[in-house]
Amino acid sequence: MKKLYISTVAASLLTTGALADSSSIKDAFANGKVSGDISIYTESVKANGTNEDSAFTNSSIGIQYETDSFNGFKAAIGGRTNHKFSEKNDGDYINSYTEDKDNDSEAVLSTANISYTSDYGTIIAGRQEIDLEWIGDFHEAVVAEITAIPDTTVVVGHTTRFMEANADTNLGKMADIGDSGATVIDVKYEGIENVVINPYFINASMNDGDLTDGVENGSDDDFSAYGLKATASVSNIDLTAHYAATSEDDSATEDGSIAHLEVGTTISNISLAAGYITTDKDGGIGSISTLGDNIDPSEELGDYIYGTNSDTFYVNVGAEVSIVALGAQYAQSEYDDGASKNEEASEILLTADIAITDELSFGAFYSSVDAEDSDDDQDKLAAMLTYSF
């Protein structure tokens, strides 16, 4: 249920140039566009053993305004406010994101940036949403997308602060990314038909930062990471191969790595896919997921999938019938508990999405986790009703 709304960076890059320039700054503001969403989200978790059941319901309103283009320049501003309606136990709503109650916000300014577009690409400076391999959510950053090289898109960015601003949990606060932030270079080459080759490099300075508050797999150590992702479509078969590794500056932290393979196809209105994910036998994935990730296919197995010496297999099927999209997935992870690699956890995930109208949609999922430690077993049911404008 995460990331229900389009990346503001992607939206800006897609829409820039689609409209003719306004003739003045005044016209650029007058011709600007307002978009947003209003949603109600609810979830209920049935826990096992000594763990308490939990539940909460919240509303969310997100609004974004973007000016028209004037001499290649645009400005955008947006925010989100979430409100808790109810919770089963004190802290269920806040703890769905982080156990740090001081990190809760009723409203956040998620977007505030200026962009410039020319024939060679686009640069965006300010608060923006980023969606790259291992870097996601909202950042205070400068990001340039360079399209001067044929069949190639080069993204170069530097981010200094970071936060999540989702509609289906409480809102966080902007946190510093260490002393110097993180720098990324991401290249996509599409010169071969039906093939995308995507090498990338990330360097992050996490020392003395407070990014770890509420962020899974966070680290206070400097690290660099590199990766290569390739996707291809051949005779209605979709293939994905992805490898990434880290170099950790702290000698007490093992370097990590992750490899991901997936094959899928679509038959009529039915999609099928199977995948395999494996991590380093000593360091797991290292610190690479500190700023986000795009590999984990599950709802609740992330800690197991990204654990030390972990092997995960998954299969999923999806079907579209009229206005309804249905999905089912089974994932199983075998991982190292510190003594031996005999621990297993699995999840059954069922999803349903209904496009009631062009503006109104409903989504729901059911997740059932079977863990090695029965106290970690749980069943989760969640639903969201969203009106977009």
User: Which tokens belong to 233?
Assistant: 């479509």
Please state, in angstroms and as integers, the Cα–Cα distance from residue 337 to each residue in 47, 110, 305, 307, 342, following that order: 21, 38, 12, 9, 8
**In the numeric block, which tokens belong to residue 164?**
């999540």
Q: What is the DSSP letter of 103?
A: G
The 10 Å CB-count burial string (b at 16+, else e) for 49-83 is eeeeebbbbbebbbbbbbbbbbeebbbbbbbbebe
Stretch (H or E) spanning 10 = helix 8-15
pLDDT for 213 equals 40
**Contact criterion met (CB below 8 Å) for 69 and 95:** no
Position 20 scores a pLDDT of: 60
- pTM of the entire structure? 0.87
Encoding tokens for residue 349?
């995930």
Q: Residue-wise pLDDT tens for the chain (389 aa)? A: 444 333 444 444 444 444 468 999 999 999 999 999 999 999 999 999 888 999 999 999 999 999 999 999 999 999 999 999 999 998 888 866 554 555 678 899 999 999 999 999 999 999 999 999 999 999 999 999 999 999 999 999 999 999 989 999 888 888 899 888 999 999 999 999 999 999 999 999 876 444 444 344 444 568 999 999 999 999 999 999 999 999 998 888 889 999 999 999 999 999 999 999 999 999 999 999 999 899 999 999 999 999 999 999 999 999 999 999 999 999 999 988 765 567 899 999 999 999 999 999 999 999 999 988 888 899 999 999 999 99
